[in-house]
Amino acid sequence: MYVVGLTGGIASGKTTVAALIAAQGINLVDADIVAREVVAIGSDGLKQISTHFGEQILQDDGSLNRALLRDTIFSNNANKQWLNHLLHPMIRAELLAQLAASNSPYTLLVVPLLVENKLTTLCDHVLVVDVEEQVQITRTIARDNVSVQQVKAILQSQATREQRLAAADSVVVNNGRQQLTSDVAVLHQKFLELATAGMAD
């Protein structure tokens, strides 16, 4: 099992890069999807959350009221810690299970907060998608229809560009789609070689 971790700040181009790599027949494991799975209806995670915070944390259909949970942990550090202690080990275990079940030459582990949540330990190689902050701001506003202030607040809550780059084994700059496509093709070949050689960086 050879794991390439893919990370980058908001709107840096992770989804775009992941799609290019998936098109080469490489399996993806997506931390955002796993984070939703561990609190899906019927999950142990959701049961523990509703026991701890009360049934009012659920919506009428029994699913998690994410907005309410976000408010609950935003205003209370103890709640935030309790939730992180519950979910982080569950997410980590599920990521490991999905990685172990993957059978492509290497597996791409897509984690927006790879550096922040110290999930680099699951990776043999870390690929960072890098762009200027101004580009992140412009692309987020165009995609999500949010204000400059809202994007800046999200940027503030994430690792800095420097912190992310310090954790990188490879960097791909996403200034243009054409250049990105050819750079990712080169990186894919490099990952195949590293995986075959079984080399961790």
- Answer for which of 112, 159, 161, 188 binds ligand ATP (CB under 6 A) is 112
- Residue 5 in the binding site for ligand ATP (CB under 6 A): no
Q: Binding to ligand ATP by residue 36, rule CB under 6 A?
A: no
C-beta of 13: minimal distance to ligand ATP in Å?
4
13 is a contact residue toward ligand ATP (CB under 6 A):
yes
Structure tokens at 179: 């250049």
- The window from 9-17, 51-59, 119-127, 183-191 that contacts ligand ATP (CB under 6 A) reads 9-17
Q: Find out whether 170 is annotated in a ligand binding site.
A: no
The two three-digit tokens of residue 117, written as one number:
């949540």
Contact 114, 120 (CB under 8 A): yes
Please choose, out of 7-15, 63-71, 165-173, 183-191, the segment that lies near ligand ATP by the rule CB under 6 A.
7-15
Contact call for residue 143 and ligand ATP (CB under 6 A): yes
Indicate whether 15 belongs to the interface with ligand ATP (CB under 6 A): yes
Starting from the edge strand earliest in sequence, which strands make up the sheet with 125-130, in order?
A: 27-30, 107-110, 3-7, 125-130, 170-173
Establish whether 67 is an annotated binding residue: no
3 state DSSP class of 15: helix
Closer Cβ to ligand ATP, 30 or 94, answer by number: 30
Residues 158, 113: contact at Cβ < 8 Å?
Answer: yes
Structure tokens at 14: 């992770």
> Contact between 180 and ligand ATP (CB under 6 A)?
yes
Judged by CB under 6 A, does residue 31 bind ligand ATP? no
What is the C-alpha radius of gyration for the chain, rounded to an integer number of angstroms?
Answer: 18
* DSSP H/E element including 184: helix 177-197
Q: Helix (H, G, I), strand (E, B), or coil: what is residue 137?
A: helix
Chain positions contacting ligand ATP, by CB under 6 A: 8, 10-16, 112, 139, 143, 174, 176-177, 180
